[in-house]
Amino acid sequence: MKTNGSFSSPSDFILVGFSNIPHLQVPMITAFFVMYLITIVGNLLIIAVILSEPNLHNSMYFLLSNLSFVDITYTSATIPKALSNYLSGDPSISFVGCFTQLYLFVAFASTEFLLLTAMAYDRYVAICKPLRYSQIMNREVCLLLSATSWILGFVDAAFSRFISLLDFCKSNVINHFSCDLRALFTLSCSSTKTIETVVLIECLLIGMSSFMLTLVSYVRIVSAIFQINSAFGRSKAFSTCTSHLTSVILFYGSMISVYVRPASVSSLEKDKFFAVLYIALIPTLNPLIYSLRNKEVKKAVRIFFTRKTGIISDVTLGLRSSVIPTHSGFIKDRRKAAQ
């Protein structure tokens, strides 16, 4: 036992897992394992393709490679431990391990919020300022946006240290498959009002401010798109944003549904449902969203596998998609229109 003031906190916590219903544990574990495998393979593939294909060496894909990496890291902060607990039959996690997991998850999730905001700004510049795109979104700016996202993400997670100082004497059973912030609050016999206020402020500073900046970017983007005369031009402009906008809606929606509302014991089951979305499902979908709906990425994947297998196929390399325009092609079209 760990003594904290006049109370005792457990040296280990017990994670309930994905479901309180025994016959649902195996299907849930299987689904999580498959989603985790797709997340790792899919995001690593996107990173490898972006690094190997010179045509993808621009700000849009640099930020996308950062997003893919953070998807891998923040999913890996939680799911492997949940899978290990189930397979070993030992549902425990140490006190230190629990709060390390909480810190890493919050840090990576906050970084994802900021990266999505940076990507929204990139789309705004590409559509609203096409003539100055390469000057505005240069290498230095991309590195600055990326570094700022990572640094602020890890700074934002510092409040998890204060949560570890609470007294957990009610129980050591966490009704979740990870060391979830709100589930930990329900176990504390200390007053959590102050730390909950701090958490809310942190969510507003990072989550809501990122959301508002993203919203402003898209309001400007939509306004610029409706000023394009041709229906084909408007369609091409919208298509450059659909992948990112889909990720934003899914990630922001599920996170806000959990953390920007009062905590209660009765809401923990709903919290676990939303946690499945932002911890497992969204990182699984992101590689599919950004590859299946993107001509440049699909072509680069074909070239990547062609090089790796040593098979040169003019037909493969010459494949074209008539549905989604390329990022670089759209920029060129916008530049011509602006001239």
* Among the listed residues 35, 33, 67, the one whose alpha carbon sits nearest the alpha carbon of residue 50: 67
Q: How far apart are CA 243 and CA 286, in angstroms?
A: 8
pLDDT, position 334: 53
Number of domains composing the chain: 1
pLDDT, position 1: 46
Q: How far apart are CA 206 and CA 294, in angstroms?
A: 29
The region of weakest confidence among 32-36, 65-69, 312-316, 330-334 is 312-316
Contact 85/97 with Cβ under 8 angstroms?
no
CA–CA distance from 38 to each of 19, 55, 71, 117, 338 (Å)?
22, 25, 11, 25, 41
**Higher confidence at residue 156 or residue 268?**
156
C-alpha 183: how far from chain center: 21
Q: Count of CB atoms within 10 A of residue 184's CB? A: 23
* Among the listed residues 283, 34, 18, 35, the one whose alpha carbon sits nearest the alpha carbon of residue 177: 18
* Among the listed residues 81, 76, 68, the one whose alpha carbon sits nearest the alpha carbon of residue 36: 76
CA–CA distance from 271 to each of 31, 64, 177, 223, 306 (Å)?
18, 28, 11, 36, 43
pLDDT, position 329: 54
Q: How far apart are CA 107 and CA 296, in angstroms?
A: 31
Q: 3-class SS at 94?
A: strand
Q: How far apart are CA 45 and CA 40, in angstroms?
A: 8
pLDDT band at 101 (very low <50, low <70, confident <90, very high): very high
- pLDDT above 90 for 69: yes
Q: How far apart are CA 37 and CA 130, in angstroms?
A: 38
CATH (domain of 126): 1.20.1070.10
> What phi, psi does 9 have (nearest 5°)?
-110, 150
Percent of the chain with pLDDT over 70: 81
Query: Which two structure tokens, joined as six digits, stand for 15?
Result: 């994670």
Query: Which two structure tokens, joined as six digits, stand for 289?
Result: 């969203």
Q: Count of CB atoms within 10 A of residue 147's CB? A: 11
The region of weakest confidence among 63-67, 104-108, 158-162, 240-244 is 240-244
- pLDDT above 70 for 265: no
Report the sign of the C-alpha dihedral through residues 125, 130, 132, 137, in that order: positive
Q: What is the mean pLDDT of the chain?
A: 79
Q: Tens of pLDDT along 315-324? A: 344 433 333 3
Q: How far apart are CA 46 and CA 52, in angstroms?
A: 10
Structural domain of 125:
2-338
Kindly write down the DSSP assignment for every residue of 251-292, as one continuous string.
HHHHHHHHHSS---GGGHHHHHHHHIIIIIIHHHHHHHHHHH
The region of weakest confidence among 71-75, 174-178, 221-225, 254-258 is 254-258
Q: Tens of pLDDT along 140-187? A: 999 999 999 999 999 988 888 888 888 887 778 888 888 888 888 888
